[in-house]
Amino acid sequence: MEDAKSRRRSKQALVFEVVTVLSVTLLPVFANSLEATCGEMGSNAAVGVSTQAIRLGVLHHLVSLLLVAYIIYHSGDSRKHFGLEFRPSVLWISTGLFLGGLILRLGGYYAFRHIGSFDIAPQTGTGNIEFLRDTPIALSMGYVVTASAFEEFLVRAYFMTRLRDLGWSTTGAILLSTLVQSSYHMYQGPLAMASNIPMFLLFSIYFARYRNAPVVVLAHLYMNVLARTSS
């Protein structure tokens, strides 16, 4: 009986941890994306974001990563449990994952743009981060790097791992992480957001299979760097 109560308390504590971490890290990003989506600038709502706002974004990414690092350290779980071990093959595997994600994203773009309501405000390039276009290169690249680590460590390494710890199936963890990650990209417009889904799904499937967070971080970074340089 005591063991059952301990397990319930442990599960409740884990649920509280996940809700707290997501509220502090991802909820502000989702709220900003929703506000931009509902704003007057529509699908290009991010264009014209101030340099100060981008600095605050970088700070938010770093503080969020520190919070997750503290949670992982304090929990006593190993880095391997969260897929945080660096392996020599990370560079060439991440390149392959990036190319696969790029093909899926571009394929999704051309497929979704011809589907009903998605045939509006078509986006160009490999990503919609035009708000970095007029930002000093050092700051914009700093944002790109921290955003890539923020997204993949939060949504992939932390969130997917905790979903599995809470008893979710692998398929459920893959689908929910993809949904969460896609949801806060709504500011890019419906076409770009939908185009991201196949790529994020690939990243989730890869992480679920191989538990290698540095690979998905680098693949996401390559994607963001390409989007920044082509914007």
Taking only Cα atoms into account, the Rg of the chain, rounded to an integer number of angstroms, comes to 18
Q: Which of 196, 207, 130, 147 is nearest to 25 (CA)?
A: 147
Looking at residue 5, its pLDDT comes to 53
pLDDT digits (tens, 9 = 90+) for 156-182: 999 999 999 999 999 999 999 999 999
Q: Which of the residues in the chain have pLDDT under 50?
A: 40-47, 119-126
pLDDT of the residue at 192: 83
Which one, of 76, 61, 62, lies nearest residue 14 by Cα? 76
CB 157 within 8 A of CB 207: yes
Among 33, 194, 34, 15, CA closest to 106 = 194
User: What's the whole-model pTM score?
Assistant: 0.87
Q: Which of 125, 117, 111 is nearest to 197 (CA)?
A: 111
- Beta carbons of 62 and 149 less than 8 angstroms apart: no
- Least Cα distance to 122 among 42, 200, 180 occurs for 42
In whole angstroms, what is the distance from residue 113 CA to residue 121 CA? 9
The two three-digit tokens of residue 70, written as one number: 């503290």
